[in-house]
Amino acid sequence: MNIVSFIIYCIVVTFTPGPTNIVILSSVQHHGARKTMGYVGGATLAFGLLLAASALLNRMLADILPHILGVMQIIGSLYMLYLAYQVYTMGRTEENPRQSSGFVSGLLMQFANPKVLLFTLTVIPGYVMPYYSSPAAAFIFVMVITVIGFLAFTTWVVFGSIFKSFLQRHQQVMNSIMALFLVYSAVMVSGIL
């Protein structure tokens, strides 16, 4: 196993913009870093659970994988469009925006996030299982990848906190840009293009 390639793959996938990271950035802008850390906790837990499920159920998933991926693409795309609408309309009314930024929202986002699902379905069988067969080794790799994911999410919280005043001054533009990224992600995941 090329451990450097494995680490680079994990870092690139978890740190690059995706639905969860965009929602984290938006949540920091509107609710602050402390409240967003609840979302990060839920996202991290779901990320770890998905990795563990991939490690435990890889052989069974191989038989039904095409059906699961198709359904998750549709659900994930619809959920991302909903999030895009939520991000786009934030701060446009006098009422405090209702964006889900808590633990449960972070947990659910990961289960509907096709980027995370595809990553978790490929990283364990692609990098770990060909070289390690013991449950202990799989557990260690699941924990390492989960920590990398947590660091990625937290980095987005820090980034959002540092640039919060800039983001708030340009709130409508930033919300529109983040919503467009989510719409683009939804379109790409759905397979329309």
pLDDT digit string, tens, across residues 80-89: 677 778 777 7
Q: Measure the CA dihedral 149/155/158/162, to 10°.
A: -150
How many H-runs (helices) and E-runs (strands) does the chain carry? 8, 0
Q: Which of 62, 61, 58, 47 is nearest to 111 (CA)?
A: 47
**Residue 134 DSSP one-character state:** S
Cα 24 from Cα 27, distance rounded (Å): 5
On whether the pTM is more than 0.95, the answer is: no
CA nearest to 115, candidates 23, 3, 6: 23
- Residue 1: predicted pLDDT: 65
End-to-end Cα spacing for the chain: 35
Find where tokens 């595809």 sit. Answer: 118
Structure tokens, 109: 């986002």
Residue with the larger pLDDT of the pair 6 and 147? 147
39 confidence band (pLDDT: 50, 70, 90): very high
Largest CA distance in the chain: 56
Residue with more model confidence, 146 or 118? 146
Residue (of 119, 112, 120, 116) closest to 73 by Cα position:
112
